[in-house]
Amino acid sequence: MTCRNSYLLSSYMFIIVIVFNLSPCQATEPNIPLHIQIDNLVSKRQSALKISPAKISSHEEFVRRVYLDLNGVIPTAKQARLFLDNKSPDKRQKLIDELFANPEYALSMARVFDVMLTERRIAGGGNLYDVPPTVWKSYLASSFANNKPWDQMVREILGTDGSEKNILGASKFYNVRDVSPHLLTRDIGRLFLGCDLQCAQCHDDPHVKDYRQADYYGIYAFVQRLKIHPLSPKGSLVAEGASGKTTFTSVFTAKSGETFPLLPGRNMIPDPTIEKDKEYKIKPGPKEAGIPTYSRRFKLAELLPQPATKGFSRNIANRLWALMMEKGIVHPLDLHHDGNPPSYPELLDTLEKWMVDHNYDIKEFLREIALSKTYQRSSVTFENQKEIPAGTYCVAPIRGLTAEQLRWSVLQATGRIEQYYLKIESQKKSSGESSNLPYWNTKLIQNEVLEKQTASFITAFAGLPGQPEMGFNPIVDQALYLRNNSKFLQLLKDEPGLVLSRLSETQDVNLLSEELYLSLLSRRPNKDEIEDVIKMLANAKVPAIRLETLQALMWGLLLSAEFRLNH
């Protein structure tokens, strides 16, 4: 993308900034759990503005939301019922811990970070020089299953040339961008530091004072010597040359400059002097990517993921917050600069500090957010919603399901995930086979069958390649898909072991309605809804018609906003 400058700040936001700058700055208390710190800060602001938050979410709202956010899929009817009927007062915390322990946590985080870090790009050569999707996904899933700290992940992603066996796949970030230095510069800035320096490629950004051409070329210098080395059909490597100066000229002022590698907030890193003919540890050749004696890229991998690099810690804190709370405290996520201040600076400072103090522990960070009342608000309020200022967290946001969440939730709601895994279980029992792979890894492979069934979902619901995921922007093509697409309608067919067949075998309409609503909307139906079901089935005595009617009920609920949104 492009030259994107500041928000138009409402005068209202200035007031807030002033209010909190005047109040004595509370140091973050290391002994107070993060979720309490978050709630304290949020309620401090709410009371300063004299607005009251919505109630805590109902258990029905909570169970659906937390499954979607932490496991990437709605709960089954059984899982929802189990939680709703549990009388224990700490059942929310228990569920949160359970969801983090599920293999689905690692798998769903792998999907989220796949989309975040590749932005659904397609490499120039298609699959030819790219890392295969399964290899990349299993790198990500293994990282999240082992709760690898974020700084370590970034070090691996930026440091690998694609050959290290233990982190195979990590070079996807480079490969999917064809190892193209300008694209890499921009996306290293956007995705790891939260700064879109695009405009500064050609000139100092006229809108954003903080983004200078020298900053852009400071990062560019790290990756300028890189290129793709298509070694063999087995995969290509990221190759680095040993020489190349970095110069730039402004298209506006014709002023030019030269730079060595430079990260925001840090010192320039001049190249060491290297004797002639000793520039390479391994000389590059047609079949050899080569290794330079001094690698600017290794410097990048070493120095960027550190608290001293401006933006590094703040970016990940803000992105993970957005994952749970719809928007970043700085939003858009890649526009951290003075003209676009955080909606709540003290809150972002707190999150950032926690990240650094806790060694970039992603799982624990998300867990703290999930435990907060701020996260657990209801999306229902009878306050005038238009008058609630942004960033006060009075009411839970209503978000669209991502393409991936939608695909898995449709599979879940129809019972196809359960059906598939029951079949695998029974096959395993009969064959007596067992696998040495970790559970997440087995599932990653087994899930491919279900993903294939729903590939058309991604085509219909995914955003555009190379663009960050945007808010909820439904389009007509998607409605047409959910109405008419034969691959989608295939999923609604009746087969043994699916929710539909369970419903059609249930004669008691109350039980049937409950199963239907728990399967699709993770809640029990209200009285009106049960009556609707009764009325619709009253005219459907013939078995075939009854089945069709049940199918229509499921289909209608799948098409409802309540299903389509995370609320």
Partner 1 sequence: MGSTMNLTSSRIEFSRRTLFAGAAGSLAASSISNEVFAKPVKPKKKQLLLLFLSGGASQFETWDPKPGTKTGGPFRAISTSIPGVKISELLPQTSKIMHRLTVVRSVNSNIPDHFLGHYALQSGRSVPGYPVLGSAVAKLLEQPDDLLPGYISIRRDGPKAYTDVGDAAFLGAKYEGVRIVNNQSPENLIAPLSVKPEITNLVDRVRMATDQRFKMGRNSNPIASYGTTYNQADALMKRREIFDISKESQSDHERYGKHDFGQNCLLAKRLLQSGVTCVKVTHFDWDAHQDNFYWHQIRCAEFDRTLVTLLDDLSEKGMLENTLVVITGEMGRTPQINNLGGRDHWGRAWSMVMAGCGVKPGIVYGSTNELGTEVKENPVKLGDLFHTYLRALGIDSSLDYNIDGQTNPIADPAAKPIDLLLA
Cα–Cα distance measured from residue 281 to residue 107, given in angstroms and rounded to the nearest whole number: 38
CA atoms in the 13 A half-sphere facing the CB of 225 = 24
Binding mask 292-331 for partner 1 (x = CB under 8 A): ---------------------------------------x
How near is the Cβ of 203 to partner 1 at its closest, in Å? 9
How near is the Cβ of 63 to partner 1 at its closest, in Å? 16
Please report whether residue 425 would count as binding partner 1 according to CB under 8 A.
Answer: no
Phi, psi of 432 (to 5 degrees): 70, 10
DSSP H or E segment with residue 400: strand 399-400
Stretch binding partner 1 (CB under 8 A), from 21-29, 103-111, 271-279, 462-470: 462-470
How near is the Cβ of 532 to partner 1 at its closest, in Å? 5
How near is the Cβ of 466 to partner 1 at its closest, in Å? 7
DSSP H or E segment with residue 320: helix 312-325
Is residue 381 left, alpha or beta, with left meaning phi > 0 and alpha meaning psi from -120 to 50? Answer: beta
Pick out residues in 103-132 that bind partner 1 (CB under 8 A): none
Please report whether residue 559 would count as binding partner 1 according to CB under 8 A.
Answer: yes
Which of 166, 232, 436, 486 touches partner 1 (CB under 8 A)? Answer: 486
Which of 57, 142, 198, 318 touches partner 1 (CB under 8 A)? Answer: 198
Which of 18, 32, 398, 424 touches partner 1 (CB under 8 A)? Answer: 398
Rg of the chain taking only CA atoms, in angstroms:
26
Which of 30, 132, 206, 257 touches partner 1 (CB under 8 A)? Answer: 206
Kindly state the tokens that stand for 85. Answer: 């009927």
How near is the Cβ of 536 to partner 1 at its closest, in Å? 7
Which of 15, 455, 475, 538 touches partner 1 (CB under 8 A)? Answer: 475
Q: Which is nearer to partner 1, 14 or 439 (CB)?
A: 14
Cα–Cα distance measured from residue 509 to residue 230, given in angstroms and rounded to the nearest whole number: 62
Please report whether residue 338 would count as binding partner 1 according to CB under 8 A.
Answer: no
Q: Where are the beta strands (DSSP E) in 218-269?
A: 226-232, 235-240, 246-249, 256-259
Q: Which is nearer to partner 1, 379 or 501 (CB)?
A: 379
Cα–Cα distance measured from residue 364 to residue 220, given in angstroms and rounded to the nearest whole number: 33
Residues paired with residue 235 on neighbouring β-strands, in sequence order: 232
Q: Give the number of other CB atoms < 10 A from CB of residue 423.
A: 11
End-to-end CA distance of the chain: 30
How near is the Cβ of 314 to partner 1 at its closest, in Å? 18
Decide: residue 165, CB within 10 A, 0-12 exposed, 13-18 middle, 19+ buried.
Answer: exposed
Amino acid letter for position 566: N
How near is the Cβ of 458 to partner 1 at its closest, in Å? 12
Which of 253, 385, 427, 446 touches partner 1 (CB under 8 A)? Answer: 385
Which of 170, 335, 370, 394 touches partner 1 (CB under 8 A)? Answer: 335
Q: Which is nearer to partner 1, 425 or 548 (CB)?
A: 548
Which of 83, 248, 375, 555 touches partner 1 (CB under 8 A)? Answer: 555
How near is the Cβ of 379 to partner 1 at its closest, in Å? 6
Pick out residues in 530-549 that bind partner 1 (CB under 8 A): 531-532, 535-536, 548-549
With DSSP H G I counted as helix, E B as strand and the rest as coil, what are the percentages for the chain, rounded to 5?
55, 5, 40
